[in-house]
Copies of this chain bind each other. A is one copy, B any other.
Amino acid sequence: MKKPCGIVAILTDFGCNDYYVAAMKGVILDVCRDVEIVDITHSIENFNLYQAAFTLYASHRYFPEGTVFLAVVDPGVGSSRMAILIVSKRYYFIGPDNGILTPAAKYDGIEKVYMIENDVYFRKPVSKSFHGRDIFAPVAARIACGLEPFRVGRELDVNKLHNINIELFMEKSDDCVVLKVIYIDRFGNVMLSHNFRNVIETLNVDVGDDVYVYAGGDRILKAKILEVFSHGAPNDLILYENSLQLAELAVNLGSAKSLLSVNNDDSIRICKYGY
């Protein structure tokens, strides 16, 4: 049975310029001086629930057992959306019930879900617009320091949780597959919606082969399948297995995003033959 390890890892869309993140950290340390705070990121785009869900999904799994994840991207603050605590196999997730916690918690294996409603654990007065400071931060600090989860409120049926789909997606047609762009990172690397291994097996190609990439318009771009982008020549477009085992397009020492002119959720067709 896991125990809290004293870490609270925070993800928000509050940026690093305003007083919001500092206020949350102050509250956490005031509630329990022993908490160790780790920033996941505060640069989620304003209100971008998908990006929040994806970043938590991708990063949570590396943290020690017993970490409390505190995620606040919360356009519905003050409305009827619930505040929740999800207890998963190895972790605790705290935030609004708008789907941002669900993909990570499902990946780890959800055990219980609680509604956060016992206001004895809140900071008073509770504002209408900053539950990150007044509800989520103090409850996260208490859970990290040993409060039993059931004390925060009644259990919620796991099937009632809001969810955001971070699903594997691949459509096959003739000698091509269609994939979605699921994330673009700082380097302009374009992460695609299925495992690299499945993509190349479906296309019946292998490392060393070329494939043909259609990302909208009439352009067809040739991409080399390599083990990693650094094996390509500068400015080569590379298809490879990224650090989450997904198919990813990158340009060695350049930006695949710029080359392909794509954005999140765009479709990309990859074919064995170019016509």
Most buried by B among A27, A62, A187: A62
A128 within 8 A of partner (CB): yes
Once the chains bind, are B78 and A23 in contact (CB under 8 Å)?
A: no
Residues of B close to A259: CB separation below 8 A: none
- Complex alpha-carbon distance, A14 and B229, angstroms: 16
Residues of B close to A18: CB separation below 8 A: 41, 55, 185-186
Most buried by B among A13, A46, A128: A128
- Complex alpha-carbon distance, A40 and B23, angstroms: 8
Once the chains bind, are A231 and B43 in contact (CB under 8 Å)?
A: no
Once the chains bind, are B27 and A62 in contact (CB under 8 Å)?
A: yes
A59 within 8 A of partner (CB): yes
- Complex alpha-carbon distance, A134 and B62, angstroms: 10
Q: Output the nearest chain B residue to A46 by Cβ-Cβ distance.
A: B187
Kindly provide the distance from the CB of A111 to the nearest chain B CB, expressed in whole angstroms.
20
Residues of B close to A62: CB separation below 8 A: 22-27, 30, 133
Once the chains bind, are A38 and B29 in contact (CB under 8 Å)?
A: yes
Kindly provide the distance from the CB of A29 to the nearest chain B CB, expressed in whole angstroms.
5
Once the chains bind, are A240 and B128 in contact (CB under 8 Å)?
A: yes
Residues of B close to A43: CB separation below 8 A: 16-17
Once the chains bind, are A64 and B33 in contact (CB under 8 Å)?
A: yes
Kindly provide the distance from the CB of A168 to the nearest chain B CB, expressed in whole angstroms.
18
Q: Output the nearest chain B residue to A15 by Cβ-Cβ distance.
A: B186
A275 within 8 A of partner (CB): no
Once the chains bind, are B253 and A47 in contact (CB under 8 Å)?
A: yes
